[in-house]
Structure 1
């Protein structure tokens, strides 16, 4: 409809010329406003449709979309993505993969990321008995980086595996409890969850915390005994193949540990401070029989134990429930084998605090395990894992340690 037609249609002979002019101006204003609204609506619709495969559920860009939505915005080779312009050589990161603008299009790396939304979705939509979640601390790391920084236990030495097992026994008529938690029995003496950050120090943290727990349990010090894993990281490098924040063996060899009343730092670049007044002495670590009942008796009578386990990629996204190790075919499907050449082994050291059982079926029996990835991870820093089936090799090598009689 033209403005001339509008004027003719709304022409009123009984109105004066001034009134007619005002009416024409009003009609023109209404038409222009409607045209602007239509234009904006079309622009918004175009933007919404332009997202294609963009992952809006977690607020992060989808790498699949990076190549389909990028295009040159001028002849200088710049790239456009998600309504942002990028110069040649600049770009953005999609999870653990960097996308760089190179002559009118983006080139993205295709590394295996530690956190993969499709794995989280698959776990939560299945009947595995546990649930998964995304963690901001892990987002942006590759699987290889996760294994490099978040684990840290080197392969168990053959000499330790050959060590004579210690197995405690109970009376003939004594029946083990169906559930037990060290935190409930010895609450004030059990150390809280730590965060190893980007230091492969699970071997040192689990050893220091087991020793600290047991020192408190026997009354060696009043209240909580917090020992410093930093001492092992900084001072134990000279022994064999100990590598500090690059990993270490759980058979630490030393009979002393540095006591630290403050929350100890976890870092590669901390000097070894040997102040004898802050030392506690411990007997050499001993190996507990890997029989499930023997492990339970050891924890019941003496306190938490140190354990090693093989870590698979899905453990990083564990949120709650009873964890089970993925089968070989599941790992192959999730491309975990592509990161098998990570700098460190897949072994991790943890602290077993107790056990429990949901019902009478075999795979609802579990260990209660303290991890070292912070309290925001898992069940307030802990996880439950199937008990009695050597899940992820967690029952292969159980270690205990006692304070020495030489302590003052």
Structure 2
């Protein structure tokens, strides 16, 4: 009985301080996360003095009561135990394997959408169309998608692709396509790193300039479009079958304080308060130690998490991860 009491005491306090009073970026909070579970590893990502207002800029997916039409797949399609989109479509490996950096802007909704659109366009063209879809164009020109760098609605990005089109364009300081991302990569997490700290910047939403960076390219000629009405998926097996058939999808989920310290492993919510909504790209899935997971590409650069990726528990709608998946077909 004494051992049980001590165990409960340790699980709810650290050196006499209750967990709910710990700073969410502190070593004590991180240690408490690692004591309470063994499927993922938490570690120091942020300086404890980082304002939470700055961290909230890493999110940007807004909630809405509106949902795109739900798509269901035939259940006779066999689902493998593991799957990786980059391995399935090696002709598009460089596109699918791109890890983005949203910089000091709450543009995850646009960056994740444009990345999934790029993947799907490449896959449908059998590797012929590798120039990415421009997250810059989507972020700056979709006035009804939300509030730009202050957040947006992922489903609206897919509607905009269908209705208005989005030009081509790659990462910051690249010459791929029409409009490259204008905000430079920065350190979202590490105390010391090769890039400037994101906290040094406060980017506003880029203006909608309907012209290409390269004057030799014509904006209207570089437009890409979605084919047919976009849709949502809301259960694990339909999400898997959709990825098997058409490629990566955009997912939205709730970010809690413990996720800020993710380093590796299969994440599940352990402790902490809600930070905000975040949009990411699901590229595959697998199983580790009998625990099913999604493989997810984040937009906080390649030195975050597992080289820019994270894994999260699959099949139980962890932190609302499987309840609002947006996608659409590419027109080629």
2:284 corresponds to which of 343, 354, 359:
354
Displacement of 1:258 in angstroms is 1.7
Task: Kindly provide the CA deviation profile for residues 306-325 of structure 1, in whole angstroms up to 9, marking residues without a partner as x.
Answer: 11100001111100001001
Q: 1:285 to 1:319 in 2, by over 3 A?
A: farther
The answer to whether the 8 A contact 1:324-1:391 is kept is yes
Q: Does 1:153 align with 2:53?
A: no
In structure 1, how many angstroms separate the alpha carbons of the residues matched to 2:61 and 2:125? 30
**Which residue of 160, 169, 176 maps to 2:74?**
169
Q: How far is the alpha carbon of 1:269 from its aligned partner?
A: 5.1
Query: Structure 1: which 5+ residue stretches go unaligned?
Result: 1-110
Q: Distance in 1 between matches of 2:70 and 2:244?
A: 17
Contact 1:210 1:306 in 2 (8 A): yes
Q: Give the Cα–Cα distance (whole angstroms) in 2 for the partners of residues 179 and 346 of structure 1.
A: 30
Task: Classify the secondary structure of the residue corresponding to 1:135.
Answer: coil
CA–CA distance in structure 1, aligned partners of residues 23 and 136 of structure 2 = 29
| Counterparts in 2 of 1:228 and 1:113: CA distance versus 1, 3 Å | farther
Q: Distance in 1 between matches of 2:142 and 2:232?
A: 24
Identify if the C-alpha distance between structure 1 residues 189 and 273 changes in structure 2 by more than 3 Å, giving closer, same or farther: same
Q: Take 1:351 and 1:288, find their aligned partners in 2: how far apart are those partners?
A: 14
Separation in 2 of the partners of 1:303 and 1:200?
A: 25
Matched, 1:242 2:146: yes
Q: How does 1:361-380 map to 2 (within 5 A)?
A: 364-380=291-307
Structure 2 counterparts to residues 66-145 of structure 1, below 5 A: 115-135=25-45, 140-145=49-54
CA contact (8 A) 2:266 2:293 kept: yes
1:288-299 map, 5 Å: 288-299=232-243
Q: Quick one: structure 1 residues 247 and 284, their matched pair in 2 at CA, closer, same or farther if it must change by over 3 Å? A: farther
After superposition, the C-alpha distances for 1:20-67 in whole angstroms (9 at most, x for unaligned) are xxxxxxxxxxxxxxxxxxxxxxxxxxxxxxxxxxxxxxxxxxxxxxxx
Q: Distance in 1 between matches of 2:35 and 2:119?
A: 38
SS in structure 2 of the partner of residue 217 of structure 1: helix
Contact residue 242 and residue 248 of structure 1 kept, 8 A: yes
1:156-187 alpha-carbon deviations (Å, 9 max, x no partner): x2221xx431112253xx53110001121122
Are 2:175 and 1:231 aligned? no
Whole-angstrom distance in 1 between the partners of 2:168 and 2:96? 15
In 1, are the aligned partners of 2:62 and 2:277 still within 8 Å (CA)? yes
Question: Residue in 2 aligned with 1:324?
Answer: 268
8 Å CA contact retained: 1:191, 1:209: no
Match of 1:271 among 207, 211, 214: 207
1-structure distance, mates of 2:113, 2:228: 11
CA contact (8 A) 1:234 1:268 kept: no
Aligned to 2:88: 185
Per-residue deviation, residues 121-142 of structure 1 (Å, max 9, x unmatched): 2223443311112225x65422
- Asked if 2 retains the 8 angstrom alpha-carbon contact of 1:191 and 1:224, the reply is no
Task: State whether residues 113 and 140 of structure 1, in contact with CA within 8 Å, keep that contact through their aligned partners in structure 2.
Answer: no
Distance in 1 of aligned mates of 2:151 and 2:24: 19
Q: RMSD over aligned Cα, in angstroms?
A: 2.3
SS of residue in 2 equivalent to 1:311: strand
Relative contact order higher in (CA < 8 Å, ≥ 6 apart): 2
| Structure 2 unpaired stretches of 5+ | 1-20, 175-179, 184-202, 211-218
CA distance in 1, matches of 2:204, 2:289: 45
